[in-house]
Amino acid sequence: SQKHDAKRMEEFRNRTGYAKEKKRPVREDDTHGIPDMKFQGKVDLWARALVIFVNVMMLWAVFSSLNQGKESMIEIIIVLMVLVIVDLLMVPMCFRNYILGEQELLIVFGLIKKRIRYSNIELLEETHNPLSSLAMSFDRIYVHTSSGDDVLVAVKEKKAFIEEVYRRAGIF
């Protein structure tokens, strides 16, 4: 819940001396010259199974309509169009990346792109929060930001991702 997350964030700030009033100085050249890094997104078995299940059900609907004659051709065409649209939206989500650029974290999740400036990142926290997010795994990282643009992400190499984001953000 948001109350719980806010309480944990406040506890972290008190424990580490990172007070709310303290602001990191924004340095435009923090990562100047550091090459972009790409981290592969993590996809759980349930997400892959969901994509396969949707495809199997749509194809089953097509094959069951084939024996019904010409009247079912419109149904078949509609189901195939829905199948193509669903695959165009869902399949790219299984092949996405998180890119650490010079000044921002770029999250590529299917057709969605989201940018978060390092200067806005306050804390990265490992979580298994099932809330809607830009992740196809429940093994996630909660990115807390000062701009209120918090997001949940899932990467295969969590520790390396967290360390690199912190380094680029100048947090620890």
**20 vs 26: CA distance, rounded Å:** 16
Q: What DSSP assignment string belongs to 77-142? A: HHHHHHHHHHHHHHGGGGS-EEEE-SSEEEEEETTEEEEEEGGGEEEEEEE---SS-S-BSSSEEE
Residue pair 153/139 in contact (Cβ under 8 Å)? The answer is: no
Who contacts 58 (Cβ-Cβ below 8 Å, separation ≥6)? 79, 80, 82, 83, 86
Who contacts 90 (Cβ-Cβ below 8 Å, separation ≥6)? 50, 51, 54, 110
Tell me what pLDDT residue 122 has: 92
Place of tokens 């969605």: 112
**37 vs 72: CA distance, rounded Å:** 50
**91 vs 165: CA distance, rounded Å:** 27
**133 vs 150: CA distance, rounded Å:** 10
**37 vs 161: CA distance, rounded Å:** 9
**106 vs 104: CA distance, rounded Å:** 6
Q: pLDDT tens for the chain, 172 residues: list them.
A: 555 666 666 676 666 554 444 444 444 444 455 678 888 888 889 888 999 999 999 898 888 887 777 667 888 888 899 999 989 888 888 877 778 888 899 988 888 889 999 999 999 999 998 887 878 889 999 999 999 889 999 999 999 999 999 988 888 6
Residue pair 37/164 in contact (Cβ under 8 Å)? The answer is: yes
Tell me what pLDDT residue 91 has: 85
Count of residues making up the chain: 172
- pTM over the 0.85 mark: no
